[in-house]
Amino acid sequence: MIVNKLKLFLIFCLIYPTLFFSADRPKNIIIMIGDGMGLNYVSASVLSDRNSPFIKFNSIGLLKTPSSNKLITDSAAGATAISTGYKVPNKAISNDTADKNYETIFAIAKKEGMSTGIVVTSSVTHATPAAFYANSKSRSEHDNIALQLTYADLNVAIGGGYKYFANSKKHGSRTDDKDLFESMKASGYEIALDYNSLVKIKSGKVLGLLGEDGLNPASKREYSLADLTKIGLKKLSSNPNGFILMVEGSQIDWAGHNNDTDYLLSEMKDFSEAVDLVLEFAKTDGKTLLVVTADHETGGMTITGGEKDGSNLSLSFATTGHTPELVGIFSFGPSQEKFSGIFENHIVGRKLIKLINPDFVFTGDE
């Protein structure tokens, strides 16, 4: 009798933690990055829009963004911290530049049978998306990064960057004259070069390259980042093993570099609408963790005036480059509480990877 009770107790001890942690772990993870979206960008959204999605999060934190060699990071090192759990030098894509590649969260998710995807408004080979599926010493190696996309086996890749996949015959800019569209078709991709064709894709993996390089700014596009994200979510959510999706409001950063108020506010609105859409998806689904953050702040932007209701905001800028200001992290869904507090950006990557594979081992400081 005592032996049986002991056995039951031992079985309980073994099973209970598994039950506890698996209930806590999300099935799907969606990472949304507002490139350059400092805290004052979020302030502008909240002040000017009473339905701003940022007020709907209860789990909020702050991140320190320095890279491994600079106080002020670039997007390559900033994205790598989140996509690999390691800080690297500026310009490096999931690589420490001493020939050591870091495994990306997408590669780790693939091993668990999950689907992967990116939806961005820059080229799909730009620093932030590249860090999720490629390894390179330099973010400027677009040809090489595009080639890596052909075998990274993403289920969804939507953004710009046509010229990095096309050879000279197809008016591309590849220096090796390879036609990457052919190899991607052979690997089961349906390819769309405009929004109307993208909407019509029914089966297969999706490569949507809707611009030569970056997409048009939000104010000059007939579709929104939310529209593109909706297509990505529909495609990815059919996998019973779950998915990981990275959505980037890429041009928030470009508006910051240009110190352009109208451009900045319209890109923030475009990104906010996409956040709202994903938040609704996560609420309905109940098994999706959404993490919204930024890689760094751009422009040293501050709000110097505006109407009482938050309309007609006046923005001023301290620089045309990036700054080391802390950025916000907003999370919703299973394990959201892991992302509140103040920590280094690479810790976000480690926490996300551990949610996908709890046995994954990192080297170096926590």
Has 197 been annotated as catalytic? no
HSE (side-chain half, CA atoms, 13 Å) at 363: 3
Which residue out of 43, 48, 75, 83 is catalytically annotated? 75
- Give the binding range for Zn ion (CB under 5 A) out of 49-57, 90-98, 202-210, 246-254: 246-254
Measured distance CA(286)–CA(25) in Å, rounded: 11
Q: Decide: 192 and 160 in contact? Cβ < 8 Å.
A: no
Between 227 and 253, name the residue whose CB sits nearer to Zn ion. Answer: 253
Q: Contact 132/140 with Cβ under 8 angstroms? A: no
Q: Which of 132, 131, 38 has the alpha carbon at shortest distance from 90?
A: 131
| Shortest distance (Å) from residue 63 CB to Zn ion | 16
Closest CA to 149 of 127, 130, 126, 173: 130
Torsion angle in degrees (nearest 10) through CA of 104, 107, 113, 119: 70
By CB under 5 A, the residues from 151 to 180 that bind Zn ion are none
Binding to Zn ion by CB under 5 A, coded x per residue (else -) over 268-297, reads ------------------------------
Choices 126-134, 253-261, 331-339, 341-349 (CB under 5 A): range interacting with Zn ion? 253-261
Using the contact rule CB under 5 A, the part of the chain among 76-84, 127-135, 181-189, 247-255 near Zn ion is 247-255
**Candidates 149-157, 166-174, 245-253, 309-317; binding stretch for Zn ion (CB under 5 A):** 245-253
Q: Does 253 bind Zn ion (CB under 5 A)?
A: yes
User: Any bridge partners for residue 62, and if so which?
Assistant: 328, 342
Q: Which is nearer to Zn ion, 79 or 233 (CB)?
A: 79
Task: Enumerate residues 6+ apart whose C-beta is below 8 A from 102.
Answer: 80, 84, 85, 86, 88, 94, 95, 96, 135
| Residues 6 or more apart in contact with residue 182 via CB below 8 angstroms | none
Does residue 325 belong to the site contacting Zn ion (CB under 5 A)?
no
User: Among all residues, whose Cβ is closest to Zn ion?
Assistant: 253
Give bridge partners of residue 34 from the DSSP assignment: 249
The residue among 141 and 285 lying less far from Zn ion, judged by its C-beta, is: 141
Q: Given the complex with Zn ion, which of 268 and 356 has the nearer CB atom?
A: 268
Instruction: For Zn ion, give the closer residue by CB, 143 or 253.
Output: 253
Catalytic residues: 75
The footprint of Zn ion (CB under 5 A) covers 253
